Amino acid sequence: MPRDKMDEPVEHNRLSYQESMELLWLDEDAKSGKQTMMSRQPAWYPGKNAPWESMRGSSDEKKFFGRGAFGGHVYAQAPLAAARVVEKADVQTPAKDRLGIHSIHGVFTNPGFIDRPFIYEVAKVSSSRSFSTHTINARQPKEPSSIPNGPFPPSDAQLPLGDVCFTCVTTFKRPLTGPSDVQDETSPQKRFASILESRAPDEWEASPQADIDLLRETFPVKGHASFPILDMYKVDMTEFNKDKALSDRRQLILYRLYKPLPAEDVNAHITCHAFEADRNGFIMLGNHLGYGYNMGPVASLSYSFYIHVNAEEAVMRGDGWWIQEVYWPRVNAGRGMMERFGVQKEYMWRAVIKMGYVCRLEALRKLEYEDWQLFSEA
């Protein structure tokens, strides 16, 4: 693709949440109570739509990414599988009182492949009237699917499976009311009003396929390409961050649903936030540290996600915008800490979700990143 054409948005087939996160219910082990589901669509992967053929070497894509699955896919879909099990058992409860995702604690143990499905095994750990805990192990067949571009056929579930590539504990909690509600009252809408009001949300640059300095400058492709589920825009914070110490720098991301998702599917909305937060997070820290032109392979290790209000408050209604604020308060002893706040742009500041994950970034040397993120509904 000629470089002058890279600046023009290119239309790609983009999947909605319902399409990307589609699950096929396979079976239930009557003795153990474990239930199994299979993904139907290939996971998106960073750099998927970059014009690698324009590079001199044919191995450049493998060098940077190896076509590994985007971690946010399995991180969102595994708890979704657990949620479907919980919802099935909770169906007689009035909708307003049903269990909703309270936390997700995931560990990435092996790379994921895009040419085969994820097989999710869901098992109940414990359950009480107001709180429930489930584990989910994700594995993939040892060989590619007969339909590698999807939808994956049910027969893929019969193929020999490899080792666990992702495991997580997901907890569920019923809605409650309480006498106390205390939090920081300073919202990003107020602190960054002059920047956010300078243009409409969708007039900022779409989030890069992979926000690494070298790739962003090599492939200045505009638009969302084939990134599924969400529209994401990166606010230009260059002037704000100029001459600031790393711990004082900020990055704002604006996002909303690409296609509608029923408001009553509360757990699906919660996993949308988890899906969004895993994109480009810690590699932006690599850019700030000066590794953006010599960054090696990157991988998430562990990732935790907490809902600090009733699940209903995380619903992404209509085409409303959410703001994510990212900053890096500390890097030391081979570890970096990243915190994130997310708020619903049109409403008052209200905390919803806190998330954090530990990541590994290979650049001039290996670094493990503790990525703490706080999402809020404005």
For the chain, list the domains and their CATH numbers. 3-176+187-377 (2.40.160.210)
Residues β-bridged to residue 332: 335
| Confidence (pLDDT) at 267 | 98
Do 24 and 37 meet the contact criterion of CB atoms below 8 Å apart? Answer: yes
Distance CA 204, CA 309 (A): 30
**pLDDT higher than 50, residue 346:** yes
When pLDDT is averaged across residues 59-81 and rounded to a whole number, the result is 79
The 10s digit of each residue's pLDDT in 12-68 is 789 999 999 999 999 887 777 899 999 999 999 887 766 555 554 445 545 555 568
Burial 244-264 (b: 16+ CB within 10 A, else e): eeeeebbbbbbbbbbeebeee
- Reading the block at residue 170, the tokens are 């997901």
pLDDT of amino acid 363: 42
pLDDT (mean) for 245-253: 93
pLDDT-based confidence at residue 329 (cuts at 50, 70, 90) = confident
pTM equals: 0.87
* pLDDT over 60 at 69, yes or no: yes
Nearest to 40 by CA among 24, 17, 16: 24
pLDDT band at 307 (very low <50, low <70, confident <90, very high): confident
More confident residue, 309 or 159: 159
Q: Are the C-beta atoms of residues 346 and 320 closer than 8 Å to each other?
A: yes
Q: Is 354 exposed, middle or buried (0-12, 13-18, 19+ CB in 10 A)?
A: buried
Reply yes or no on whether the pLDDT at 266 is more than 60: yes
Residue for token pair 């926000």: 211
Average of per-residue pLDDT across 285-307: 77
Of the candidates 325, 340, 341, which has an alpha carbon nearest to the alpha carbon of residue 370? 340
CB 12 within 8 A of CB 49: yes
Strands 366-377 and 335-344: parallel
- Residue 52 pLDDT: 53
| For range 93-112, the mean pLDDT | 94
